[in-house]
Chains A and B, each alone.
Chain A
Amino acid sequence: MTPDDRDPPRLTQPGPRVEVVPLGRVNLTAAHVVAGNLQALLGLAARVGEPRPDPEEALVANRGQYDARVVLEELAKGVGAPFRLGVTAVDLCLPFLDYVFGEAQVGGRAAVVSLARLGGGRGAAGVPREVMLERLAKVALHETAHLLGLTHCRAAGCLMSFSETLERIDRISLAMCPGCRVDLARRRRRIVGPDG
C-alpha cells in the first residue's frame, strides 16, 4: 500500500475539520492547546468537542493500560467532523508495544494522544506544565498528519520523525522538514481544500 492509497476521500462540506475530543479526566486546557496548534501549525480548522469517558472496551486489565487501536475504533464511530483527535490522560499501548504516546489511523478518521507519560523525564518531579503541553502539541500534530496520510520521516528534527522516548520528543521541532511540508500541503489541498 503506497501512502497515496491511504489518502482519505476529499472533503467538501464546510465546518471544522478536526474535532478534539477530551477523554476521561483529561484537563480541558490540554484539548484547547491541541486545537489551537492544529489550527495554527497545520492550518486545519479545529474545535474542542464534548468530553467523553475513556472507552472501557479498550482497557487491557492485565496491563492496566488502554489499547490505542480500540480507542481509535470507538472514536471513529458516529457523525461529526471528518477527523477526530482524542486527548486522554490514561496510558496507551498496542498489543505488541509497551506504550505509545499517540496513535492514528494513517489516512483514516481517528487519532489519539495521551498525557500519561508526557510529564515524565528530567528528574523525579517531572517537567514544568508548559513543557508537557509542548510535547502534547508535537504528538498531536504528528498523529493528525498521519490522518492526512503522512508516514514517518527520517530527516533529523522533523515533526514526522518517530519519537519513541521523551528525549526524542524534546529534540524534534514543532515544524516539519521541507519534504514533509510539501507533502502535507499537497495532501491538505487534495483532502480539505484551500480553506482548511
Chain B
Amino acid sequence: MERQLSILVVDDELAMRESITAWLQKAGYQVAAAASGEEALGLMERHLYELALVDVKMPGMDGLALLEQVRRLYPETMVIIITAYGSIESAVRAMKAGASDYLLKPFDPEHLMLLLEKVGGQRRLLQENLALRRRLSEGECAGFEDLVGRSPAMLEVFSLIEDVAATDAPVLITGQTGTGKELVARAIHNRSERGFAPFVTINCGALAENLLESELFGHERGAFTGAVRARRGRLEMADGGTLFLDEVGEISTKMQLDLLRVLETKQFQRVGGTATLTSDFRLICATHRDLPQLIAAERFRQDFYYRIHVISIPIAPLAQRSEDILPLAEHFLDLYAREAGKVRPELDDQARRVLLAHPWPGNVRELRNVIERAVIVARGDRIGLAELSFLGTTAPATALPRSLAEAELAHIQQTLEAHDWNLTRAAAELGIDRSTLRRKLNRAGITRPGGGRR
C-alpha cells in the first residue's frame, strides 16, 4: 500500500521555504511549510507528518531544539536537518540527536532524491509490517494466496479448501467464468502434500480435440504430421503433483472415456506410442457449465462425472457476495499500484458505491480489470467516479436529492440495490435494525422493483 510521503518543510527563509515546497509538490509529495519551530509544532499537533525537513539555523526555536521536541512528541516522524556548508558541526550534532540524515545547502538533486527514496522505502516497510501484523492478529480478511473474501460463501470455500487439501480425492470446482476457479485449485494444491510438486494446468475449452489429446497424453516422434520430436504430455508432467483440467465440460465424450481409463489405472500411452507410462497425480477439474444438464443431453458421460466430482466446491458469483467486492478491490489496488510503481490510491465513497452497485457479470476477473484500469488512469491518491467512468456510471451529482428525507431514501435504495434487496444485510450496513428499515420502506411506499422483498 503506497501513498506519497507527507512532508513538513521548516525554514525561516521565504525563498527557501517556497522553492522547496513547490519542488516537492511537483514531485507529487503532500507538503506543508512552517516559518519557525513553534509554527511547525503547531502544525504537527493537527497532522502527522512522516518527514520533516528542518533548517538548523532559525530565530527562536532552532532546528536542533525542534528536532529534540519532534523526537520526544512524534517519534514516528523522520527528521532531515538542512545546514549551510559552514555549519557542518551542527549537522553532526543533529545526527547524534537522532536526525535521520542531513542535507547541505544547496542540495545535490541526486542526493535529495536518494534521501526521499530511502525515507519512502523505510516507511513502506514499516507499513507492510504493520499491515501483516494486523492481518495476522485480527484475521481481518481471510486470504488464500490471491483469494480474498469475507462473505459466508467464500469462508465456506476456504474451509473446504483446507479440508480437501489433506485428501487426494478428485475435486470439481464449479462457478461462473471469472470467479477464480483456478485460484481455488492452486490453493488446494499448495496446501496439499503435493504442494512442492508441479501444478499443471490445461484449458480443455481452448484446444481442438486432437490437439488436446496430444497435449494431455504427449506424442511420439512422427505420430502425426509436424510431430518432429517426441513430447511429454501434461499427464506425465503432473507426476507427483496436481493436474488441473479447466473447462472440463468442453471435452468430447471420447476424450472423457480415455481420461476415465487413465484415472482408474493411472496408466496411459503417448499418441503414436506403445510404451505404457504411469503418472501419479491428483485431479482437479473446473467448469462453468451445468454438468448434470450436459449428462441429460448426453454430451457428458455420467461415469466420468462421478469419477471427477468426488468433492464439489461451488463458487458463488460475485454479485451474490457483495461483502467481497470492496476487500477484493482493495487487494487489487495494492497489487496493481505496486506493479505500476504508483502511489496506492484510495477509493472514495462514490467509487465504493459504484463498485457495490455494479452487477459484475464478469465476476472477480471483471473487477480486477476495472481496478487495474482505474489504477492506470488515476492521478493523485484518489479513485473516484471519473476513474470508473468506463463502467457506465454517471455522477450522482447530476440528480442530487433536494431534501434530507430524499437523500435518506436515495441512500437506502442504493444500499438495498448493493445487497440485492436483502433487508438484513442492507440494515446492517446502514447501521439500523431490520424492522426500522422495513418501517422506513413502508412509510415511503418503496418496494423491490419487479418483485417482493427478501
Interface residues of A in 141-164 (CB under 8 A from B): 146, 151-156, 162, 164
Interface window among A16-24, A41-49, A97-105, A122-130? A97-105
Interface string of A80-112 (1 = CB under 8 A from B): 000000000000011111111000101000000
- Could you tell me if B342 and A95 are in contact, using CB atoms closer than 8 angstroms? no
Complex Cα distance, B380 from A158, in Å, reads: 16
- Could you tell me if A94 and B379 are in contact, using CB atoms closer than 8 angstroms? no
Residues of B within 8 A of A106 (CB): 22, 25-26
Interface window among A28-36, A50-58, A132-140, A177-185? A177-185
Interface residues of B in 1-59 (CB under 8 A from A): 13, 15-16, 19-20, 22-23, 25-28
- Could you tell me if B106 and A95 are in contact, using CB atoms closer than 8 angstroms? yes
Residues of B within 8 A of A99 (CB): 109
Residues of B within 8 A of A153 (CB): 28, 342
Complex Cα distance, B20 from A38, in Å, reads: 28
- Could you tell me if B107 and A97 are in contact, using CB atoms closer than 8 angstroms? yes
- Could you tell me if B26 and A151 are in contact, using CB atoms closer than 8 angstroms? yes
Complex Cα distance, B60 from A124, in Å, reads: 48
Complex Cα distance, B105 from A154, in Å, reads: 26
Band of interface residues on A:
20 to 34
Contacts A94-B19, A95-B19, A179-B378: A162 and B106 contacting too (C-beta < 8 A)? Answer: no
- Could you tell me if B377 and A179 are in contact, using CB atoms closer than 8 angstroms? yes
Complex Cα distance, B382 from A4, in Å, reads: 12
Contacts A97-B106, A98-B106, A98-B109: A152 and B28 contacting too (C-beta < 8 A)? Answer: yes
- Could you tell me if A182 and B377 are in contact, using CB atoms closer than 8 angstroms? yes
8 Å CB contact of B379 from A3, A96, A154: A3
Complex Cα distance, B111 from A164, in Å, reads: 9
Task: Tell me if A69 counts as interface (CB < 8 A to partner B).
Answer: yes
Contacts A154-B341, A155-B342: A97 and B26 contacting too (C-beta < 8 A)? Answer: no
- Could you tell me if A97 and B380 are in contact, using CB atoms closer than 8 angstroms? no
Residues of A within 8 A of B107 (CB): 96-98
- Could you tell me if A178 and B376 are in contact, using CB atoms closer than 8 angstroms? yes
8 Å CB contact of A179 from B19, B23, B28, B340: B340
Residues of B within 8 A of A79 (CB): none
Residues of B within 8 A of A179 (CB): 340, 342, 376-379
Band of interface residues on B:
20 to 34
- Could you tell me if B341 and A156 are in contact, using CB atoms closer than 8 angstroms? yes
- Could you tell me if A162 and B342 are in contact, using CB atoms closer than 8 angstroms? no
Q: B82 — nearest CB in chain A belongs to which residue? A: A96
Complex Cα distance, B380 from A179, in Å, reads: 11
Interface residues of B in 101-124 (CB under 8 A from A): 105-110, 112-113
**A66–chain B nearest beta-carbon distance, Å:** 13
Residues of A within 8 A of B27 (CB): 151-152, 162
- Could you tell me if B376 and A182 are in contact, using CB atoms closer than 8 angstroms? yes
Q: A165 — nearest CB in chain B belongs to which residue? A: B110
Task: Tell me if A2 counts as interface (CB < 8 A to partner B).
Answer: yes
Q: A1 — nearest CB in chain B belongs to which residue? A: B25
**A77–chain B nearest beta-carbon distance, Å:** 19
Q: A156 — nearest CB in chain B belongs to which residue? A: B341
Complex Cα distance, B378 from A104, in Å, reads: 23
Residues of B within 8 A of A155 (CB): 340-342
- Could you tell me if A94 and B106 are in contact, using CB atoms closer than 8 angstroms? yes
Residues of B within 8 A of A100 (CB): 109
Residues of A within 8 A of B340 (CB): 155, 179
Residues of A within 8 A of B341 (CB): 154-156
Complex Cα distance, B110 from A182, in Å, reads: 29
- Could you tell me if B25 and A96 are in contact, using CB atoms closer than 8 angstroms? no
Q: B341 — nearest CB in chain A belongs to which residue? A: A154
Complex Cα distance, B170 from A177, in Å, reads: 46
Most interface-central of B109, B342, B376 (chain A CB within 10 A):
B109
- Could you tell me if B28 and A151 are in contact, using CB atoms closer than 8 angstroms? yes
Q: B20 — nearest CB in chain A belongs to which residue? A: A96
- Could you tell me if B19 and A162 are in contact, using CB atoms closer than 8 angstroms? no
Residues of B within 8 A of A162 (CB): 27, 113
Residues of A within 8 A of B15 (CB): 69, 95
**A140–chain B nearest beta-carbon distance, Å:** 16
- Could you tell me if A183 and B379 are in contact, using CB atoms closer than 8 angstroms? yes
**A169–chain B nearest beta-carbon distance, Å:** 12
Q: A104 — nearest CB in chain B belongs to which residue? A: B26
Most interface-central of A93, A96, A100 (chain B CB within 10 A):
A96
**B190–chain A nearest beta-carbon distance, Å:** 31
Complex Cα distance, B82 from A179, in Å, reads: 34
**A124–chain B nearest beta-carbon distance, Å:** 21
Residues of A within 8 A of B113 (CB): 162, 164
Q: B386 — nearest CB in chain A belongs to which residue? A: A186
- Could you tell me if B23 and A94 are in contact, using CB atoms closer than 8 angstroms? yes
- Could you tell me if A2 and B109 are in contact, using CB atoms closer than 8 angstroms? no
Residues of A within 8 A of B377 (CB): 179, 182-183
Residues of A within 8 A of B108 (CB): 98
Contacts A155-B340, A164-B110, A179-B340: A96 and B28 contacting too (C-beta < 8 A)? Answer: no
**B residues in contact (CB < 8 Å) with A:** 13, 15-16, 19-20, 22-23, 25-28, 82, 105-110, 112-113, 340-343, 376-380
**A residues in contact (CB < 8 Å) with B:** 1-4, 63, 69, 93-100, 104, 106, 146, 151-156, 162, 164-165, 178-179, 182-183
- Other A-B pairs, 17, CB within 8 Å; known A98-B106, A164-B113: A2-B380, A69-B15, A94-B106, A95-B16, A95-B19, A96-B106, A97-B106, A97-B107, A98-B109, A104-B26, A146-B26, A151-B26, A151-B27, A151-B379, A154-B28, A165-B110, A182-B376
* 12 cross-chain CB contacts under 8 A: A2-B380, A96-B16, A96-B105, A97-B23, A98-B106, A106-B25, A106-B26, A154-B341, A155-B342, A162-B27, A164-B113, A179-B342
